[in-house]
Amino acid sequence: MATSFDPALVTRAYELALKSYREGGCPIGSVLARDGAIIGEGHNRRVQQGDPIAHGEMDCLRNAGRQRSYAGTTLYTSLSPCMMCAGTIVQFGIPHVVIAENVNFGGNEDFLRSRGVVVDVVGDARCIDLMRRFIAEQPALWNEDIAEE
Dump the DSSP string for 61-76: HHHH---S--TTEEEE
Q: At residue 49, does pLDDT exceed 50? A: yes
**Nearest to 145, CA basis, from 67, 79, 63:** 79
Q: Where are the domains of the chain?
A: 7-146
Cite the active site residues.
57
Rounded to an integer, what distance in angstroms lies between the CA atom of residue 142 and that of residue 148? Answer: 8
pLDDT of residue 17: 98
Q: Are 110 and 133 in contact (CB under 8 A)?
A: no
CB neighbours of residue 59 within 10 Å: 26
**What is the pLDDT averaged over residues 54-80?**
97
Q: Are 31 and 12 in contact (CB under 8 A)?
A: yes
Rounded to an integer, what distance in angstroms lies between the CA atom of residue 15 and that of residue 56? Answer: 12
Q: At residue 1, does pLDDT exceed 60? A: no
- Helix locations, 25-124, DSSP H: 46-49, 56-64, 83-92, 109-114
Question: Which of these CATH numbers, 3.90.800.10, 3.30.420.110, 3.30.230.10, 3.40.140.10, describes 7-146?
Answer: 3.40.140.10
Q: Are 46 and 71 in contact (CB under 8 A)?
A: no
Q: Are 64 and 32 in contact (CB under 8 A)?
A: yes
pLDDT of residue 101: 97
pLDDT of residue 149: 67
